[in-house]
């Protein structure tokens, strides 16, 4: 019986590029991916799009098909539809596939959990008809489903991208309500000159905005005081802009204000994390090669700090070089020699990333609820007021607050509200989130039926020799 040299969890750009690099070096790699086909969120269905004209999604999407093709040619054991529900520090991974619980062992583990959208807990954000821009993308990419006459609100590249994709596909859009504050532009200007070195990236972003403006779509900038209209379902959005109150009616409201690392795996494993004040989110603490506080566990891609798809590809490769070194396949000198180009590539991206982070820095008004009755925990229906009451009763730690109010105890296990709860406690305690901490995440990483668990057997999957 033999274990895998490396198990990669998540087949997005980071996971795929790491797998390719490691397979080329001849190590036994297994990749566990939740989707039916590799690609991750960004390249979801890029290898087999249901859309008649996939070019409408843009060149950044179609380039994913080439990566997926290269990945699928690589000598890698790929488990599709594999839902990981336990990651052990000992290198044991438990996952569900076809309704069965399975287990594998690995020497090295590379987590590529990707990003998730930052919750936007404005008034009415949990009403039926309110979705995230990311959800709009998933529907479009996997099922070619769109929502006609929707209103898009928030800030950030992903929001503009989905609006542009809708427009290219001829889908009617009611309005784009841009919440990027005037101050963000002012603050980002000093960072602009250095960011200009990444002129291609900047141009891409600008052309997206130009495309939206040229389409004649009503765009409201510097919007504040957002609230979803409607009492039992979304009927539109009201907001203030340039001193005027406005209402826009729509059955569907798409919200978005940036992405943050998906912490489910890294937190559940108990890896060290820190608060990133530039991106206003938690992220796992790793070195330039993605190695975490547990030496045989590495993290690459957006899941280790938002760097975008191209950055994720590079980070995946870097993690692979280091893991190959740890497995004795690369000397330290060779690792550093092979990594040189990617390391400087990542470094060059930093000024541009700083500029983007500053420009689209989330405002507290969108990051944290502003009204006492706004829901924070959707699963257990806990409002900000409920949490405040728990705080007043002495629960100053996210876990104590969870025990007292049940906030974060529902089916999502706090995976959605974790950042909001840390943020609120930090605000109430007058300190920063680093001091407050985060939920202790418990197994399983996803709901698991009793029947499935009871049939769990420690069957070891053997790596192909």
Partner 1 sequence: MKADVLIVGGGIQGCATAYYLSKQGVSVIVLEKDYSGRHASGVNAGGVRLLGRDMAEVPLSKASMEMWQTLDDELGEDTGFRNQSLINIAVDEADITALHERQVKMHALGYTHERIIDQSELMQRLPHVNPDCVGGVLSELDGYAIPYKATAAFRRAAERNGAQIVEGEEALGLRRVGNVWLAQGTGHRFEAETVVNCGGAWADRIALMIGDNVPLSHAAPMLMITARVPKFAAPVVGAVSRQLSFKQFENGTALIGGGAKGFADRANNRTRLDYAKLASAARTTAEFFPIMRRASINRMWAGLEAYMPDNLPVIGPAANAARAFHAFGFSAHGFQMGPVVGQVMAELVTGGTTRFDLSAFRIDRFDRKVL
Q: Which stretches of the chain bind partner 1, using CB under 8 A?
A: 86, 88-89, 94, 101, 270, 393-397, 399-400, 403-404, 409-411, 413, 442-444, 447-451, 453-458
In whole angstroms, the minimum distance from the beta carbon of 293 to partner 1 comes to 13
- E strand or H helix that includes residue 253: strand 253-257
Name the residue nearer to partner 1 (CB basis): 58 or 88.
88
In whole angstroms, the minimum distance from the beta carbon of 10 to partner 1 comes to 22
> Is-contact 71 19, C-beta < 8 A?
yes
In whole angstroms, the minimum distance from the beta carbon of 225 to partner 1 comes to 35
Name the residue nearer to partner 1 (CB basis): 41 or 96.
96
Residue 174: CA count within 13 A, CB half-sphere: 19
**Residue 435 in tokens:** 């001091």
Residue 251: CA count within 13 A, CB half-sphere: 5
Name the residue nearer to partner 1 (CB basis): 244 or 457.
457
CA distances from 166 to 139, 158, 218 (A): 12, 12, 14
Name the residue nearer to partner 1 (CB basis): 120 or 424.
424
| DSSP code per residue over 201-242 | HHHHHHHHHHHHHHTT--EE-S-EEEEEE-SSS--EEEEEET
In whole angstroms, the minimum distance from the beta carbon of 430 to partner 1 comes to 17
Name the residue nearer to partner 1 (CB basis): 86 or 107.
86
In whole angstroms, the minimum distance from the beta carbon of 402 to partner 1 comes to 9
Sign of CA dihedral 371, 372, 377, 379: negative
Alpha carbon 231 to chain centroid, angstroms? 30
In whole angstroms, the minimum distance from the beta carbon of 447 to partner 1 comes to 4
For helices 308-326 and 332-359, give the axis angle rounded to 10 degrees.
160
Phi, psi (deg, nearest 5) at residue 399: -75, -35
In whole angstroms, the minimum distance from the beta carbon of 409 to partner 1 comes to 7
Integer Cα distance of 408 and 41 in angstroms = 25
| DSSP code per residue over 102-148 | EEEEEEEEEE---EEEPP---BTTTSTTEEEHHHHHHHHHHH----T
In whole angstroms, the minimum distance from the beta carbon of 246 to partner 1 comes to 40
Name the residue nearer to partner 1 (CB basis): 27 or 269.
269
Name the residue nearer to partner 1 (CB basis): 340 or 442.
442
> Is-contact 14 300, C-beta < 8 A?
yes
Name the residue nearer to partner 1 (CB basis): 342 or 380.
380
For helices 59-73 and 308-326, give the axis angle rounded to 10 degrees.
20
> Is-contact 411 447, C-beta < 8 A?
yes
In whole angstroms, the minimum distance from the beta carbon of 449 to partner 1 comes to 6
Integer Cα distance of 44 and 49 in angstroms = 8
| DSSP code per residue over 349-381 | HHHHHHHHHHHTPPPHHHHS--STTSEEETTTT
Geometric angle at alpha carbon 150, from 148 and 152, rounded to 5°: 140
Name the residue nearer to partner 1 (CB basis): 60 or 397.
397
Name the residue nearer to partner 1 (CB basis): 88 or 345.
88
> Is-contact 233 128, C-beta < 8 A?
yes
In whole angstroms, the minimum distance from the beta carbon of 364 to partner 1 comes to 26
Name the residue nearer to partner 1 (CB basis): 93 or 250.
93
**Residue 261 in tokens:** 């690392």
In whole angstroms, the minimum distance from the beta carbon of 454 to partner 1 comes to 4
In whole angstroms, the minimum distance from the beta carbon of 403 to partner 1 comes to 3
Name the residue nearer to partner 1 (CB basis): 136 or 379.
379
């Amino acid at each position: 019986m033999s274990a895998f040299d490396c198990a990669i969890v998540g087949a997005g750009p980071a996971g795929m590029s790491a797998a390719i690099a490691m397979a080329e070096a001849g190590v036994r790699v297994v990749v566990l991916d939740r989707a039916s086909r590799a690609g991750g969120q960004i390249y979801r269905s890029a290898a087999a799009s249901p859309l008649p004209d996939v070019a409408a999604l843009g060149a950044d999407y179609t380039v994913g098909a080439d990566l997926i093709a290269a990945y699928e040619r690589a000598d890698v054991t790929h488990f599709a539809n594999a839902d990981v529900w336990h990651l052990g520090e000992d290198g044991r991974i438990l996952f569900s596939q076809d309704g069965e619980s399975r287990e594998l062992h690995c020497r090295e583990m590379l987590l590529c959990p990707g990003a998730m959208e930052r919750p936007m807990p404005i008034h009415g954000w949990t009403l039926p008809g309110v979705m995230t821009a990311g959800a709009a993308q998933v529907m479009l990419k996997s099922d070619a489903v769109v929502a006609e006459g929707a209103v898009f609100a928030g800030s950030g590249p992903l929001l503009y991208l989905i609006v542009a994709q809708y427009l290219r596909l001829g889908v009617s859009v009611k309005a784009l309500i841009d919440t990027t504050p005037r101050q963000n532009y002012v603050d980002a200007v000093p960072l602009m000159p250095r960011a200009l070195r990444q002129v291609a990236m900047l141009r891409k972003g600008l052309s997206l905005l130009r495309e939206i403006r040229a389409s004649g779509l009503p765009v409201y900038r510097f919007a504040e005081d957002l609230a979803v209209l409607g009492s039992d379902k979304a009927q539109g959005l009201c907001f203030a802009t340039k001193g005027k109150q406005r209402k826009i009616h729509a059955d569907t409201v798409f919200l978005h204000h940036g992405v943050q690392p998906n912490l489910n795996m890294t937190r559940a494993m108990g890896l060290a994390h820190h608060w990133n004040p530039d991106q206003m989110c938690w992220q796992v603490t790793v070195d330039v090669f993605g190695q975490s506080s547990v030496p045989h566990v590495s993290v690459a891609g957006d899941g280790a700090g938002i760097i975008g798809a191209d950055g994720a590809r590079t980070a995946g490769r870097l993690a692979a070089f280091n893991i190959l070194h740890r497995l004795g396949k690369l000397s330290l000198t060779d690792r550093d020699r092979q990594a040189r180009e990617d390391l400087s590539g990542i470094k060059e991206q930093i000024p541009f990333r700083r500029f983007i982070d500053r420009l689209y820095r989330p405002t507290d008004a969108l990051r944290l609820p502003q009204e006492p009755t706004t829901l924070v925990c959707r699963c257990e229906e806990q409002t900000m007021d409920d949490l405040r009451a728990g705080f007043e009763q002495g629960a100053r730690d996210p876990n104590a607050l969870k025990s007292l109010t049940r906030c974060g105890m529902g089916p999502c296990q706090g995976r959605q509200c974790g950042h909001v709860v840390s943020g609120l406690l930090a605000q109430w305690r007058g300190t920063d989130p680093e001091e407050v901490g985060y939920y202790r995440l418990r197994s399983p990483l996803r709901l698991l039926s009793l029947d499935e668990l009871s049939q769990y057997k420690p069957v070891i999957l053997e790596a192909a020799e």
